[in-house]
Amino acid sequence: MIKRIIENLSRQVKAAELLGMLQEEEFSHLKNLDPRMVASVEFSMQELLRQLAGERIDIKKLYQAVSPEIARLTEALPYFPPEERARAEELYRELDRVEQKCARQAENNYKLALGLYDQNRSYLEFIQKQITPKKNVYSANGRFGNAGSNPSFLRGRY
């Protein structure tokens, strides 16, 4: 059981490292303004996160198999032999370090994506203001009326 816990922790570390690489790739695609590649990487990250969540569920079941009252690795460590305990602690620290790195990269990706969204929204608002008629124009009924600032549908029939 202890061996399976250590293997699970090792897989989680590797998955978190892969997540970090995918996040860096997503950041580069965001900088290059390539939405297709961003979406592609995002799907890969979502699948990886789903698998990582499965690993977390599995490790909790393994903790329960060691002792029913255990919910965390720190509570399970007293049941480990000294060499496995050292390996598990090392993997736990590594997992924490990699997760912190992923969190920082996710924050950078979020800031860049939000900045691009705000920029595009302001461009769209500017274009809409430029194409909206500012003076009186003919209405759909052929009469001279005021231009509305809200978007609307025009129909070519009565």
Give me the CATH number covering residue 129: 1.20.58
Model pTM greater than 0.85? no
Tens of pLDDT, residues 70-99: 888 888 888 899 999 999 999 999 999 999
User: Is 143 inside a domain boundary?
Assistant: no
User: Is 12 inside a domain boundary?
Assistant: yes
Question: What is the domain range of residue 22?
Answer: 2-134
Element (H, E) at 145: strand 144-145
Strand duo 144-145 + 137-138: pairing? antiparallel
User: Is 74 inside a domain boundary?
Assistant: yes
Tens of pLDDT, residues 92-128: 999 999 999 999 999 999 999 999 999 989 988 888 8
Quick one: CA dihedral 131, 132, 133, 139, positive or negative?
positive
Bridge partners for 137 per DSSP: 145
User: Is 149 inside a domain boundary?
Assistant: no
User: Is 112 inside a domain boundary?
Assistant: yes
Structural domain count, the chain: 1
Phi-psi region of 33 (alpha: psi -120 to 50; beta: other; left: phi over 0): left
What is the rounded distance in angstroms from the CA atom of residue 89 to the CA atom of residue 65? Answer: 19
User: Is 154 inside a domain boundary?
Assistant: no
Cβ atoms within 10 A of the Cβ of 79, count? Answer: 15
